[in-house]
Structure 1
Amino acid sequence: MILLTGATGQLGTAVINQLLQKIPASQIAAFVRDEGKATNLIKQNVTIRVGTYDDTAALGRALQGIETVLLIAGTDEENRVRQHQNVVDAARKAGVQRFAYTSRALKDPATLVNRLMAGHFQTEDYIKASGLPYTLFQNILYLDAIPQFVGGDAVFERGISVPAGQGRVALALRSELGEAIANALVSHDEGNRTYRLTGSESYSFDEIAAALTSLSGKTVAYTPADPATFETQLIGRGLPEVVARRITGFITDIANGQEDIISPDLEKLLGRKPTALQEGLARMYKQ
């Protein structure tokens, strides 16, 4: 039986949708904070186990009878490493046979601007030290995030102005990452594995601008921005400061080459090439 945390989030939903096509619903469990938000999973006969990362007793109950856990990274920035450690500890006590975690594909954790990402590598280290057999999914930045980064449909009027310099990123669709993760979870590979899940090509924001120009027929220009100015603009658009800071950090790390990584792992797990930039943007912008 496979248990997913964060099962009602976007990545969790993508993974479960794919798992349901591969194994019976009776073999899938979802760990959720609020059962009321899991009605769609309940309709699909997915087993629901309720609790929080801070409730170690609930974690212990949830992990009984579970062979594989997929820990989808939590969103509590201040506490999530400790919370992840609670899940690892509970899994070890419950005798879980494989521990999987959704991490990030980044070149050098020691030089990240977005320090939020450091928690992923702290969690990886804790999983490795636990002695549990593990599978790590190091995911590249979602292609789905591009509209939020560039300002949604307004990009066709004002262009792209982000602090990405000439950095490149091998973007991938969240749905395809979910599919690849599901494929790996139902495989019978033994031993510890680390998958770097990236697109087959990396793209600059000049290329993203050119793709949007091609899609819309409107000229979309890319102008590199100053990070502080960009963060202020995001807040001015109504984004919370923490989100604005996170996005700015993501993009500054792109400028520094952190996400210019190309790995064959996503293509291998999918059994096909990942969706390329223009087709992915067409889905995002419904062009």
Structure 2
Amino acid sequence: MYLITGASGGLAQTAAELLLKSVPADQVVLTTRAPGNLRSFADRGVHVRYADFAEPGSLQAAFTGAERMLLVSTAQVGSRIGFHRAAIEAAGRAGVRYLAYTSIVGAGIEENDAVVCVEHRATEAILRESGLRWNVLRDSQYAQAVAYFIAPGAIAAGEMVGAWGEGGVGFVSRDDCAAAAVGALLGRGEDDRAYEITGPEQLTYRQICALITEISGTDVSYKPIGDEEQYAIFDSLGVPREYDADALAASPIPWNSDDMVSFSRAIRIGHMASLSDAVLTLAGRAPRSMRSVLEEAAATWPPAPAGVEAAR
């Protein structure tokens, strides 16, 4: 049987739908902290089981019977490594033979000190030492994060401000990440190796601004800033610098600023600039372009406010 964790999340649900196109429903296990959210899958014959990485005792039974597993990484900075270790160890005890893990581009660079990369790199090491067959799927930055969350604010302000410098990113569609993960789960890759999951081209945030300007018809300029300026912006918004669950509950942004600033710095110095054909290898299709994702999102963008010039 095939198992996908965190199945209430967007990437995992997309992966589950793709997996069901290739294998019978009774050969699929989906685990989640909220089984009621997956009733539509259960109604189709999928095995939906409760599992919570924060409750290690819930994991082995949830994973039992599965031979191939997709471990979708958690988002909890500070807790991620422990959660992932618990899941990998439980998978081994449950008889899982192969595990694919969704990591991040840049995690394979030892000197990359971005918080997210440090934590994913630690999980990768745990997986390599687990005795399981494995693949690490190092996803690049989601194109949708730019198209649906960064672009609207940039259009409203007439500028995009950030500490990314002129670093390139192989922005990738989340759907392509899901398709590549399912390809690995189905055995289309080579065991015991990492794959960089990227889009078809590297782009800088300055180039992203040019695309947004072209597609929206509104001038969006690019304003690169340094780390301290970026920290000051987050400080002014009440975003905590270090991970603190209580402080983040009151924050307008669900990530602490050490995480976000270190990620931007990694882009700026070139640690996130990977580019590969892994989507084609694992998913059997070419990855979507950043332009196509921006064009799809454009219908959700706000009109430019008064005082922001139209692009000529």
Please report the TM-score for the alignment, with normalisation by the length of structure 1. Answer: 0.91
Distance 1:107 1:123 in 2: 10
- Count the aligned residue pairs: 287
One-letter amino acid matched to 1:186:
L
**Is 1:55 the equivalent of 2:68?**
no
Paired residue secondary structure (1:69): strand
| Alpha-carbon shift at residue 144 of structure 1 (Å) | 1.1
| Alpha-carbon shift at residue 40 of structure 1 (Å) | 3.5
Distance 2:231 2:9 in 1: 26
Q: What fraction of aligned residue pairs are identical, expressed as a percent?
A: 25
Paired residue secondary structure (2:223): coil
Distance 2:157 2:62 in 1: 49
**Is 1:247 the equivalent of 2:248?**
no
Distance 2:78 2:215 in 1: 40
2:294 to 267, 277, 281: 281
Distance 2:277 2:163 in 1: 28
The structure-2 alpha-carbon separation of the partners of 1:241 and 1:185, relative to structure 1 and needing over 3 Å to count, comes to: closer
Report runs of 4+ in structure 1 exceeding 4 Å deviation: none
Q: Deviations over 1:141-164 (max 9, x none)?
A: 111111466352442542111111
Paired residue secondary structure (2:3): strand
One-letter amino acid matched to 1:120:
H
Distance 2:189 2:137 in 1: 14
Whether the aligned pair in 2 keeps the contact of 1:165 and 1:255 (CA below 8 Å) is yes
Decide which structure has greater helix share.
1
Distance 2:188 2:166 in 1: 41
Give the structure 1 partner of residue 237 of structure 2. 236
Paired residue secondary structure (1:286): helix
Distance 1:174 1:110 in 2: 25
Q: Deviations over 1:17-69 (max 9, x none)?
A: 21122212211111111222223333443211112113333211112111111
| Alpha-carbon shift at residue 95 of structure 1 (Å) | 1.8
Query: Please, which runs of 5 or more residues in structure 2 have no aligned partner?
Result: 239-250, 301-312
Give the structure 2 partner of residue 262 of structure 1. 275
Query: Please, which runs of 5 or more residues in structure 1 have no aligned partner?
Result: none
Give the structure 2 partner of residue 18 of structure 1. 18
Range that drifts further, 93-102 or 139-148: 139-148
Distance 1:239 1:216 in 2: 26
**Is 1:37 the equivalent of 2:50?**
no
1:79-228 residue pairs with structure 2 within 5 A?
Answer: 79-106=79-106, 109-147=109-147, 150=150, 152-187=152-187, 191-228=191-228
Paired residue secondary structure (1:169): coil
Give the structure 1 partner of residue 245 of structure 2. none
One-letter amino acid matched to 1:64:
T
Distance 2:231 2:45 in 1: 43
Please report the TM-score for the alignment, with normalisation by the length of structure 2. Answer: 0.84
* RMSD (CA atoms): 2.2
| Alpha-carbon shift at residue 279 of structure 1 (Å) | 1.1
The structure-2 alpha-carbon separation of the partners of 1:18 and 1:231, relative to structure 1 and needing over 3 Å to count, comes to: farther
Whether the aligned pair in 2 keeps the contact of 1:170 and 1:260 (CA below 8 Å) is yes
Distance 2:280 2:166 in 1: 25
Range that drifts further, 167-176 or 230-239: 230-239
Distance 1:59 1:94 in 2: 9
Give the structure 1 partner of residue 73 of structure 2. 73
| Alpha-carbon shift at residue 241 of structure 1 (Å) | 7.0
